[in-house]
Amino acid sequence: MELLVPSHSALPVRAWNAVRSRGPRYAWHKALRRVLGRWPSWKRHWLYSDPRLYWTLRGGEDYFREQEGQAARTLRTEWLAQRLAAYRPACILEIGCGYGKLLRALRWRIDVPLVGLDFSTTQLEHARRFLEGLDDIEILLGCGECLPFPDGAFDMVVTSAVILHNPPKAAEHIRREVLRVARRFAAHNEETSRSYNRYGYDTAAWYRSQGIVLAESGPIPVDPDPATSQFCVAKLSP
Ligand SMILES: C[S@@+](CC[C@H](N)C(=O)[O-])C[C@H]1O[C@@H](n2cnc3c(N)ncnc32)[C@H](O)[C@@H]1O
């Protein structure tokens, strides 16, 4: 259980509490994220060589509070949920569901089975709490590159800020898996900007290169940086 420490506490106090609540590895990871701020290539090398480990250390109470404290994140999630619901899918799989922010927003809008999958145990721990009491949402530990579902298992498959966190080979595996398990729609919010943990892909261009028709594609109007945001929905069958 993570300790709740006010963010204005002195650095040594926060560091000590990070060690006490989640161990030295977590505290070291957190410190590196700050210290290496100005050196993105070192940051990628030291912090992001194993995305799954990164997200396991990154997930948890701190991350949850940080994200929930950002009004822009909520605005974007609400916008996405509304767009996705407009397609009236019969069921949805979200790959990389994190702590369940989008699944929760979807549940308020559509009454269809929802499944969330993520490779981070700490994110899923929070998802279970965040989604508690909501009907028909299944949460699974798994990897986007090798989905544990048969072909065409879901009417719609969604990723939101997930493919961009994977290096090119893994990103390609995820896209192929999306196409394999989706029946009618594949929807993505995947920014094109780069950072130490973002690879930045043009997902809409990828679908076009595969000869797949897009039902829509464009920036997310409520995003703080619409120039690099991208939402697209691929239409896989009539
Ligand atoms: C930035 S968070 C986004 C969470 C959620 N989609 C949202 O929009 O609130 C990225 C999430 O994707 C997960 N993720 C990244 N790559 C993944 C992969 N290859 N397989 C499964 N989960 C992945 C991470 O563990 C993390 O929880």
pTM: 0.92
Which of 103-112, 174-183, 222-231 has the least mean pLDDT? 222-231
Pocket test for ligand 1, best of 55, 68, 78, 203 (most atoms within 8 A of CB): 55
Pocket test for ligand 1, best of 49, 119, 157 (most atoms within 8 A of CB): 119
State how far the Cα of 71 lies from the Cα of 154, in Å rounded to an integer.
31
**pLDDT reading at 16 higher than 80:** no
User: For residue 215, how far is its CA from the centre of ligand 1 (angstroms)?
Assistant: 24
Residues 6+ apart with CB under 8 A from 127: 97, 98, 99, 100, 103, 116, 118, 139
125-164 pLDDT, tens digit per residue, is 999 999 999 999 999 999 999 999 999 999 999 999 999 9
* Residue 187 buriedness (CB in 10 A; 0-12 / 13-18 / 19+): buried
Q: Element (H or E) spanning 214, and its range?
A: strand 214-218
64-93 pLDDT, tens digit per residue, is 999 999 999 999 999 999 999 999 999 999
Ligand 1, atom 15, residue with closest C-alpha: 162
Is the C-beta atom of 116 inside 6 A of ligand 1?
no
| Pairing of β 214-218 and β 231-235 | antiparallel
State how far the Cα of 228 lies from the Cα of 101, in Å rounded to an integer.
21
Which of 79-88, 137-146, 178-187, 194-203 has the least mean pLDDT? 194-203
User: For residue 65, how far is its CA from the centre of ligand 1 (angstroms)?
Assistant: 17
- Rg of the chain on CA atoms, in Å: 18
**pLDDT reading at 1 higher than 60:** no
* pLDDT score, position 99: 98
User: For residue 45, how far is its CA from the centre of ligand 1 (angstroms)?
Assistant: 19
* pLDDT score, position 3: 45
Which two three-digit tokens encode residue 231?
């939402």
Q: Which domains does the chain have, with CATH numbers?
A: 11-68 (no CATH), 71-235 (3.40.50.150)
Is the C-beta atom of 81 inside 6 A of ligand 1?
no
